[in-house]
Amino acid sequence: MNSAAAVATDTGAITVRGVSKWFGSGDGALQVLDNISLTIPSQSVVAIIGSSGCGKSTLLNIISGLVTPERGDVILNGVPAREFSDWRSISYMFQEDRLLPWRTALRNVEFSLEAGSMLRSERETRAREALKLVGLESFADAFPYQLSGGMRSRVALARSLVQEPCILLMDEPFSRLDALTRAQMHEELLRIQQLKKMTIVFVTHDVEEAVVLADNVVVMAPRPGRIREQVAITLPRPRDATEPVTAQQAHHLKSLI
């Protein structure tokens, strides 16, 4: 057990080692990821940026265990993904909101807690708190079709947070929010991250967002997807997207894509 703990500190929350992924087989096989290696320290916030189609979603799918890579492996909290069992401590917010249309906002948030055997009343209490966190407590009884795109992604965010995960994976989580709400969500997310000591990995096409949120930015290059550069963001927090230093950092990142 001691050695496992030691390994855990070495490999951070997530380690990706030499991962390559192909889709299809034979001559038509398309290589989507090429030899990706990445260590994500515990309680850090990491952004992944890169042009569309360069394999960012696929990389998150691999970390979440949805997709198995042809080569390489993933280590979660020091445990190889094959032997990892605590999947419910990992939460994945997909690129699409994936709200179940037949459930209200509240019941959609509860869905994350329904895999186990938690009591209905406790589920509901926690789901209400999560909705409050994203500012939608008064929309608990609304069905997805009654919500705007931005509200729907906030419900999806609440559904990811309600699990109180140690690792939160997010695929373009805020792309459908207006600038003001997005800034609010950024603040809220960082607050929760501090509070719950979460590790966050998120994909974004918004470099300003990456600079405001992340400790580390991974820049990917396309065809096949590989890591072009990793940039540490050391600006003091809280960061403001409108400040010149932030804009400068963002500009630098943009030039790398």
Ligand X SMILES: Nc1ncnc2c1ncn2[C@@H]1O[C@H](COP(=O)(O)OP(=O)(O)O)[C@@H](O)[C@H]1O
Q: Which of 22, 23, 84, 87 binds ligand X (CB under 6 A)?
A: 23
Q: Which of 17, 22, 31, 87 binds another protein (CB under 8 A)?
A: 87
Q: Which of 15, 36, 38, 55 binds ligand X (CB under 6 A)?
A: 55
Cα(173)–Cα(40) distance, integer angstroms: 19
Pick the piece of the chain touching another protein (CB under 8 A) from 16-24, 101-109, 185-193, 239-247.
101-109
Least gap, CB of 219 to ligand X (angstroms): 12
65: left (phi over 0), alpha (psi -120 to 50) or beta: left
* 57 part of the interface to Mg ion, by CB under 5 A: yes
Q: Which of 59, 147, 162, 177 binds another protein (CB under 8 A)?
A: 147
Cα(146)–Cα(163) distance, integer angstroms: 25
* 207 part of the interface to ligand X, by CB under 6 A: no
Nearest to 126 by CA among 86, 164, 170: 164
* 58 part of the interface to Mg ion, by CB under 5 A: no
* 145 part of the interface to another protein, by CB under 8 A: yes
Q: Which residues of 222-250 are buried (b: 16+ CB within 10 A; e: fewer)?
A: bebbbbbeebebeeeeebebeeeebeebb
* 32 part of the interface to ligand X, by CB under 6 A: yes
Give the type of residue at 29. A
In terms of CB distance, is 6 or 100 closer to another protein? 100
* 79 part of the interface to another protein, by CB under 8 A: no
Which string of x and - marks every residue 31-70 that binds another protein (by CB under 8 A)? Answer: ---------------------------------xxx----
Residue-by-residue DSSP string for 76-95: ETTEETTT---GGGEEEE-S
Which long-range contacts (C-beta less than 8 Å, at least 24 apart) are formed by 147-151?
A: 147/105, 149/176, 150/176, 150/177, 150/178, 150/181
Asked if 200 and 42 touch (Cβ cutoff 8 Å), the reply is no
Least gap, CB of 222 to Mg ion (angstroms): 12
* 29 part of the interface to another protein, by CB under 8 A: no
Residues lying near another protein in the complex (CB under 8 A) are found at 64-66, 87-88, 90, 92, 94, 96, 98, 100-103, 111-112, 114-115, 138-139, 141-148, 151
